[in-house]
A and B are shown apart, each in its own frame.
Chain A
Amino acid sequence: MPWYQFLELLKEEYKLTCKFYYQVKSQIMKVKYFLVLLFPVVLLNTGCKKSFLDVEPPSVLTGSSYFRNAVDAEASITAAYNSVRNFNSDNYAKIMEAPLKGIMIFNTQGLNFDSWSLDPNDAITDDVWQGAYEGIFRTNMVLQHVPDINMDKAEQTRILGEARFLRALFYWQLSTVFGSVPLVTEADPTDPSKAILAKSSLDDINKFMISDLKEAINTLPDHSSYKSSDKGRASKQAAQALLGKVYLYIKDYANAQNYFDTVINSNQFKLVPNFNDLLVTDNNSESIFEIQYADITGQGSDRIENDYPQGQGGFSNLLPTQDLVNEFESYSGTTANNGKDPRLFYSIFQDGDPYDNVSPTFKKAWTPTGFAKKKGSYPVIRSSNANLGRDFPIIRFADVLLMFAEAANENNQPDKAIASINKVRERVGMPDLPTVDFPVRNKDEIFNEIVHERRVEFAFEHIRLNDLKRWGLAQKVLGSEGYVDPKNQYFPIPQQELNNNPKLTQNEGY
């Protein structure tokens, strides 16, 4: 092919290419509209620097932004106190009171406790379990994070001490209900698998509580040094009292007596003159540590209300029976009421007792047993909103006095024991020991008096069941109710917990 022909060909080719280019270009020009329409897409994609998808919780903090300052430290310990109240709810009351002889439950929820037919699937036991570990978690969070916060040292020390006290309290309550349980000492809100733990021995749990409480004693302020606005916080004496109690439960009577003695000699507590004020006047002179309630939504107590008779604003949850009434001594002194220990009058509504302005007198037909719980419930408050603001004691001075007496008796110091018991009896005008009923001539007789004294002094205060169990009297006293040793020494571990923690084992007998 001649070269010029080839050139022509190239020219043609070029023309064609150009033509095609212009065709394509004109098409693209048409597509301009299209680009305009795509504009919103581009706009939406590249709006601002923060991604459209970065949506953060608008009303709560996330983990990384907590524990920055003193405010967070205070809020975190307050949450732990909140757990104390949660834990000591109506459900804990049912567990501790309903199984007793002398008290029956008259609410459909928790009836099984009355007959000791305990079911691992029971929601009430489960709630108590979950409540305790919730509290332990919150104290663990405080102990892990508050030390790193740059804040007032005294405040920081106090908060850490409170956390240790509360953690020990939770473990004490948990281990008295369930026996040996997993010992969780660290909190991780991101990984639940870290909590898959086997049970620790009761021994280890006790050691752990003791060490926490000793640390708390070293760091917490004196009870009397708290300002009026800080009433309700754990104090050095609260930790000492609880430590004494832990020692008492493990039968280390020497240490127990020692710590109770320290509390008594701190001279920061004295018995309330009027027995009825005990669970009615908040943070009174006898209170060592009590759960704070207020008539504010979410801060109230529903259990006082629950225990009022049905038709009188309550549900008759826990009803005293004749058996408990009989426990109160006959007595004819000045403070006597109907020939009985006045504590009966302050603890139990009986036929004809003054009630309130709606129903002036209590009628035995109001409840199946003919009685109702009065302690902490009188004067009657009619509220349907579960917001009763009366505190509930965890440890009060009378308890320390009687526990001191018990430890002293075990340590063979009967005089100290009797003197301490008498302080409690004198408050209600009961005659000093010895009496005809309680001659207290030897260790056993003193012990028997303490058994009696604790039952009438602390009725409805969630103390008796633990007492009977640690004294080894549960089978004897509660056998007729359905209690069986050793199975019922502890409640069943919630089945749901076993389902989710392969390392956990059920308590014996369930």
Chain B
Amino acid sequence: MILTVGHQNNNGAVSLKAKTWIIMKLTIVLLFFFTFQVSARSDAQKITIVKNNVHLAQVFKDIERQTGYHFFYDKDLIQKTHLVDIKLKGATIEQALSECLKGQQLTYAIVKNTIVIQAERTLHSQLLINNSTSAIPISHDIHGKVSDSKGGPMAGVSVTIKGESVGTTTDNSGNYSITVPDNAILIFSYVGFNKEEVSVNGRNVINISLKASETSMDQVVVIGYGTQKKSEITGAISSVKGKDISTATSTGLQGALQGRVAGVIITPTTGQPGGALDMTIRGVATFGNSNPLFVIDGVPVLTEATSRDFNPLAGIPLENIESIQILKDASAAAIYGARAANGVVIITTNRGDHTGKNQIQFKASRGVSKVSKFIPLLNSAQYIDYATEAFQNAGKPLPVSLTDSLRQKNLQTNTDWQKSAFKPATIENYFLNIYGGNTNANYSVSGGYLNQGGNLPNSDFKRYSVNVNSDFNIGEKKKLKVGETIGLSQSIWKGTFDPTSLNMRQLLQQSPTVPVYNAADDGGFDGPRLQYSPVGRQNTIGVLTLTQQKRIENRVLGSLYANYDILPGLSDRFSVSGDLSVGRDLNFIPTYNMGQYVNTLATLTESRFDRSIYYITNTTTYQKTFNKIHKITALIGFSQQHSWQTNTTVQVRNFQSNNLQTVAAGFEQRNITGDETGWALQSQMARLSYGYKDKINVMGVVRRDGSSRFGINNRYGVFPSISANWIISKEQFMDNMRAVSDLKLRASYGKVGSQDISDFAQYATIQPNVNYVFGDAKVLTPGATFVNMGNSNLKWEVTAQTDLGIDLGLFDQKLSFVFDYYVKNTNGILVKLPIPTTSGIRRTNGPFVNAGSVQNKGIEFTATYQNRLSDDINYSLSGNISANRNKVISLNSNQPIIAQLTSGTEQSISITQQGDAISEFYGYVMDGIFKDQADIDKSPKQPGSAPGDAKFKDLNHDGVINASDQTVLGSPFPKFIYGFNANLNYKNFDLVLFVTGKSGQYLYNLVWATLNEGVADNNATTEQLKRWTPNNTNTNIPRAVEGNPGLNERPSSRFVQNASYMRVQNIQIGYNLGKQLSHKFKLTNCRFYISAQNLFTLTKYPGYNPEIGTLTVGSQSSLTRGVDYAMVPIPRIIEGGIQINL
């Protein structure tokens, strides 16, 4: 929306010290549009209106809409008029006006594009002043120029005084002049542009630029290697504005998008600050990484995380994002060919504008995050009872901690491990942006600082960022344009850990009889001991507090470009970009003594890594409109990309002090290892768009990619697509359907690819360092062998997608709908299948293969309603809902893929097989509890079972429970997902409510499985209070028994839990200081807000968070979705902030 008013120095240079401050009513938001001036329709424009008994104001609106003329009148005057019957067909403007004003004692004048309506007696032809409603003295004249965002003059813009029915319009050069009271506010308005309010504040000259309104079909959308008018878009593209997400500082880029876009599923993998998120667009179409490609200001960035601890996009401040486009279908994404199979997310950052003014924007917020959900666990008395029973049931002697005096003593300790671990943490965020420019150059400089505390000890995330960009138009004719974007950031993660690691589970498993602290011990922590409990888990709080784990990443993301207009319509753009990260991982384990866990040697492991991508691209675009009917845009381009990363790790141990945590301070060098890897991609692309009368658009794209990851024979992939739209609302026959302001049909078909395999997947590589020692001197002897398999015949994974869409806008776009249906077929899915290990290669190190095909089909629906009830109240409501069905069509091996979890003995609980969705849960079906021995005798044979043990179903009816009684137990994919967003503005207040949810999804609750194993080695959930005992047989919770001879905890339906949920993701209340008050402080705008994130969640799921995506990375990461390892809970965050514009 807007902003900018100010003086421009005569020489066009931008002055840092603007002379005047002008207060504006609207909240200033940085949005960036290439705007096109809408020229007024010619006088030949025909008007068709057939309406009975309507108010004149309504008729004027209709005429405005059909002609582009703007009406200008005194409201009171029109209020007094009588209703009219209008019957116009193909009338001229003059005919229409005479018809309307018949018998109304009104007359009109057409000034440029403005129709001025006045009482017959008061009309003046040029300048209109009506003092009858105002006693305010006229104090001085104001003049100025109105331009569009590109600096072009805007003729016919109406300029009025707020609260008065007085005004004028601009002339052909965009100039106006008007006489106003001293404290007046001027309103500038023009069809298709945002209204601007500017307070005069004693000035004589007010220049302003208007921005095209967002609802306009002329809105420009960033697509790959270019932009398109919204009306020309033929594919499925969703847009999110930076301002809508900029307060979600703590959730990261992907988290901010959660629930906002139909068809996009985002799930956090951890509640730790700066943690990674899992994002899928239109379903999971592959077995490995299903995250989309991220393109920031045209640079495809490094997002291939090596683990799930870190969000590779965490270095990018949300405040710096202007807009995000999500390319969902193949036609939109095809220009990114090889890497677009999972969709593409295009991020555009803020740039300066051409207003000739310098502007400053400052944002600050502080908040508190707090874990609000806990898993109900047994207290000491309950645990001691439970553990005793487990030993007794197993016929084993009681450990000392459960007997006599120690038992009594342990009853006194009652540690709540969760409450001791999770503490409230603070978040602070500051962002400053200075930007501006004129028609020759523009710039934007911003700096940000985020310090986000974690709820676990010693875990926080800090980010320092600086972003600079500018554009220069060179030469008199401005044919050459050059510019750059440079983003520098330092991100520091502390204490993050892999979400599949044991840390969280051990925290929950620890016995409440174990104290957290013991000042006497080295490190100050206590831990499991025989006298406390039979539980031998690490003291997670101690480990996290004492272990110093840190990742520091310094990143430079930048690009330089030159754009040259060779001939009218023909231009060439060349750019060089780079994404460079340098950093280190530190892990210092001090000496400590935590119960039975004792560390006598401090160890420091330090990794230094650098990762770089360079990217060169050249595109040539030709655009021409023939006979004002046929518009052709053609693009050919070339790009190449090279990525390289290296890593060196050293380990030293034995430190003089736990406080000397550097490599230099270690007495003993232990180990040095390294790693180096990379890939290259070379691509050619072409795009041809054809538009007919702005009604029908057709676009064809083809891209050819070559990747170093494939063998020489299958190196290249060709990815074509075709798409079209038909804007029905612009057809003549729609003229009578005035309610329909926009109706567009879209259809597309295309193919995109994936190269998501390890860098050297084509080779069976020889692994060095498979060493051994020989001789009395134990000399390290180098060994080397194959440890993984290669496949030189790999081909590209190809996703073919068909998309049908309808865009419908009603009542001047007050109500709009977007509907899409798609079918996505992925063939030749690249995956490392589990292999028979008789091959001599570990199961997970098999070759990549093109393993099969998967289909995703679904529907997406978005509805938006926006309305303005009065000048004081306006609101918008929008909702989206989408459903996706995922189905494995074929697997080449004809064998189901039973994927292995990364840890734990319950290794395989996910199956991927033909006919089902990817990664469905797999295991036994629990069928109640064995009531007594008779029940066991008459049931199918289940070795080791006794009364009180879980009974499983004999699915193949062979009389024995074994591996072949396992079956599919549920799907981790939601049946549908939805989001609802409400915005309300009342006077100076604004309110945002954002609700999101997923329905019909299941999770495998591995936490529940470990906490309800029935063994004394873990603490248990309060569910165990209902466990089977000889006196409590009417239950479905199995007995407690040490050693678990009946394998009660085996993967089964018992732990597959419904995880549907609805969450109030964000509520935000803002207050705008108001013009007068802001003015006092010499501010353009000032807004305060309070926001709450993750306020509450409605769900039956008993774990921390009912959403778990994939927690692993790599080739099989999508094959074990939805397994809850006990993620770090997502906290509730309350933040307060201020946004100031100078």
**Interface contact A61-B784, CB-CB below 8 Å:** yes
Q: How far is the CA of A426 from the CA of B939 in the complex (A)?
A: 57
In the assembled complex, the Cα of A33 lies from the Cα of B1047 at a distance in Å of: 76
Interface centre among B677, B834, B840 (most CB of A within 10 A): B840
Asked whether A75 and B784 contact (CB < 8 A) given A52-B640, A500-B843, the answer is yes
A231, B775: Cβ atoms closer than 8 Å: yes
Tell me whether A283 and B776 are in contact (CB under 8 A): yes
**Chain B positions within 8 Å of A108 at CB level:** 536, 1017
Q: Looking at chain B, what size class is its interface with the partner chain?
A: 35 or more
User: B840 and A138: CB pair below 8 A?
Assistant: yes
Point out the residue from A53, A117, A130, A510 that lies within 8 Å of B837, measured CB to CB: A130
Contact (Cβ within 8 A) A133 B601 = no
Whether, in the assembled complex, A58 has its beta carbon less than 8 Å from a beta carbon of chain B, the answer is yes
In the complex, the answer to whether B784 meets A119 with C-beta atoms within 8 Å is: no
Complex alpha-carbon distance, A40 and B774, angstroms: 56
> Is B87 interfacial (CB 8 A cutoff)?
no
Contact assessment for B598 and A311 in the assembled complex, using a CB-CB cutoff below 8 Å: yes
**A18 CB-CB contact with B under 8 Å:** no
**Interface presence of A337 (CB below 8 A):** no
Asked if B119 is at the interface of the complex by the 8 Å CB criterion, the answer is no
Query: Do B530 and A78 have beta carbons less than 8 Å apart?
Result: no
Interface positions, chain A 1-54, Cβ under 8 Å from B, are 30-31, 33-34, 37-38, 40-41, 44-45, 52-54
Are B1050 and A55 touching (Cβ within 8 A)? no
> B774 touching A230 by the CB < 8 A rule?
yes
Q: How far is the CA of A367 from the CA of B400 in the complex (A)?
A: 10
A82 to B1043, CA, bound (A): 34
Q: In the docked arrangement, what's the CA distance between A192 and B783, Å?
A: 23
Contact call B838/A382, Cβ cutoff below 8 A: no
* B292 in the interface (beta carbon within 8 A): no
| B671, A297: Cβ atoms closer than 8 Å | yes
Q: Bound state CA distance, A312 and B1043, in angstroms?
A: 25
Proximity bits, A214-229, B CB within 8 Å = 1, else 0: 0000000000000111
Q: Mark A359-395, 1 if CB is under 8 A from B, else 0.
A: 0000001111000000000000011110001000000
Known: A230-B775, A293-B773. A192 touches B836 (CB 8 A): yes
| Residue in A55, A137, A299, A366 whose CB lies within 8 Å of B772 | A299
As a 0/1 sequence over residues 549 to 589 of chain B, the CB contacts with chain A under 8 angstroms (1 = contact) are 00000000000000010110010101000000000000001
A499 touches B908 (CB 8 A): yes
Residues of A within 8 A of B767 (CB): 60
In the complex, what distance in Å separates the CA atom of A76 from the CA atom of B767?
A: 10
Tell me, rounded to whole Å, the shortest Cβ–Cβ distance linking B533 to chain A: 12
In the assembly, what is the distance between CA of A394 and CA of B642, in Å? 50
Q: Does A408 contact B (CB under 8 A)?
A: no
**A63 lies within 8 A of B775 (CB):** no
Interface string of B99-129 (1 = CB under 8 A from A): 0000000000000000000000000000000
**CB of B339 to closest CB in A, whole Å:** 15
Contact A111 B1043 (CB under 8 A): yes
Provide the A470-482 mask, 1 if CB < 8 A to any CB of B, else 0. Answer: 0000000000001
Which residues of A, 320-372, contact B by the 8 Å Cβ criterion? 365-368
Contact A117-B620, Cβ < 8 Å, known A129-B837, A196-B836: no
> Is A115 touching B838 in the complex (CB atoms < 8 A)?
no
Q: Does any Cβ of A come within 8 Å of B867's Cβ?
A: no
Closest to B531 in A: A365
What's the Cα separation between A12 and B956 when bound, in Å? 93
Stretch at the interface among A147-155, A399-407, A455-463, A490-498: A490-498
Tell me which residues across on chain A come within 8 A of B572, comparing CB atoms.
34, 37-38
With CB as the reference atom, state the residue of chain A lying closest to B1044: A117
Tell me whether B713 is interfacial, beta carbon within 8 Å: no
Tell me which residues across on chain A come within 8 A of B843, comparing CB atoms: 130, 496-497, 500
B536 contacts which chain A residues (CB < 8 A)? 106-108, 310, 315
Which of A45-90 touch B at CB < 8 Å?
45, 52-63, 65-66, 72, 74-82, 85
Considering only residues 705-736 of chain B, those with a C-beta below 8 Å from chain A are: 706-708, 715
Segment with Cβ contacts to A, from B819-827, B894-902, B1081-1089: B894-902
Which residues from chain B contact A115 at a C-beta distance below 8 Å?
394, 944, 1043, 1045
Q: In whole Å, how far is A214's beta carbon from the nearest beta carbon of chain B?
A: 24
- Closest CB of chain A to B48's CB: distance in Å? 45
Check if B932 is an interface residue, CB within 8 A of chain A: no
Chain A residues with Cβ below 8 Å from B786 are 63, 137, 141, 189
Are the C-beta atoms of B567 and A195 separated by less than 8 Å? no
Q: A30's contact among B567, B908, B944, by CB below 8 Å, is which?
A: B567
CB-defined contacts of A137 to chain B, threshold 8 Å:
786, 839-841
| Cβ-defined partner of A78 (8 Å) among B651, B772, B847 | B772
A interface residue count range (under 10 / 10 to 19 / 20 to 34 / 35 or more): 35 or more
A490 to B606, CA, bound (A): 44
B524 at the interface (CB under 8 A from A): no
- Bound-state CA distance A106–B570 (Å) is 76
Q: Are B908 and A58 in contact (CB under 8 A)?
A: no
Most interface-central of A56, A189, A190 (chain B CB within 10 A): A189
Q: Which residues of B contact A63 (CB under 8 A)?
A: 763-766, 786, 790
A residues near B842, Cβ cutoff 8 Å: 130, 134
- Known contacts A119-B1050, A192-B839; is-contact A385 B653 (Cβ 8 Å): yes
Contacts of A136 on B, CB cut-off 8 Å? 840
Q: Is B791 an interface residue (CB 8 A)?
A: yes
The interface bits of chain A over 115-129 (1 if a CB of B lies within 8 angstroms of the residue's CB, else 0) are: 101011111101001
Say whether A112 contacts B676, CB under 8 Å.
no
Query: Is B774 within 8 A of A138, CB to CB?
Result: no
A184 within 8 A of B: yes
Query: In the complex, what distance in Å separates the CA atom of A300 from the CA atom of B670?
Result: 12
> Is B205 at the interface (CB under 8 A from chain A)?
no
Are A119 and B905 in touch, CB under 8 angstroms? yes
A189 touches B764 (CB 8 A): yes
Shortest C-beta distance, B21 to chain A (Å), equals 44
Is B778 interfacial (CB 8 A cutoff)?
yes
State whether A385 and B603 are in contact (beta carbons under 8 Å apart), knowing that A61-B784, A78-B783, A299-B780 are contacts in the complex: yes
B638:A44 contact, CB within 8 angstroms: yes
Stretch at the interface among B6-14, B678-686, B691-699: B678-686
Question: In the complex, A119 Cα to B765 Cα: how many Å?
Answer: 34
Contact B783 A229 (CB under 8 A): no
**Does B760 sit at the interface, judged by CB under 8 A?**
yes
Query: Would you call B529 an interface residue if the criterion is a C-beta within 8 Å of the partner chain's C-beta atoms?
Result: yes
Distance in angstroms from B503 CB to nearest chain A CB is 15
B20 an interface residue at 8 Å Cβ cutoff?
no
> Any chain A CB within 8 A of the CB of B904?
yes
Residues of A close to B600: CB separation below 8 A? 313, 382-384
Hey, which chain A residues are within 8 Å of B898, CB to CB? 496, 499
Q: B777 in the interface, Cβ–Cβ < 8 Å?
A: yes
Report the minimal beta-carbon distance from B212 to chain A, rounded to whole angstroms: 31
Judge if A232 is at the interface, Cβ distance under 8 Å.
yes
Do A197 and B1050 touch across chains, with their CB atoms under 8 A apart? Answer: no
Residues in A whose Cβ lies below 8 Å from that of B1045: 115, 117, 482
A388 to B1015, CA, bound (A): 32
Q: Which residues of A contact B779 (CB under 8 A)?
A: 229
Given known contacts A294-B778, A297-B651, A501 and B838 CB-to-CB distance under 8 angstroms: yes
- Chain A residues within 8 Å of B706, by CB: 53
Contact with B along A259-271 (1 / 0, CB 8 A): 0000000000000
A–B complex contacts, Cβ < 8 Å, 14 sampled: A31-B567, A37-B564, A44-B638, A58-B678, A61-B768, A122-B905, A130-B842, A184-B838, A282-B776, A384-B601, A384-B603, A496-B898, A496-B907, A501-B836
Given contacts A75-B783, A197-B836, A500-B843, 4 further A-B contacts (CB under 8 A): A44-B682, A310-B529, A496-B834, A502-B895
State the 6 A-B residue pairs at the shortest beta-carbon distance, nearest first. A137-B840, A310-B596, A78-B783, A195-B839, A79-B785, A79-B783
- Residues of B at the A interface (CB closer than 8 Å) are 394, 399-400, 528-531, 534, 536, 564, 566-567, 570, 572, 574, 589, 595-601, 603, 616, 618, 620, 638, 640, 642, 651, 653, 670-671, 674-682, 706-708, 715, 759-760, 763-786, 788-791, 833-843, 846-847, 895-896, 898, 900, 904-908, 943-944, 962-963, 1015, 1017, 1043-1045, 1047, 1050-1051
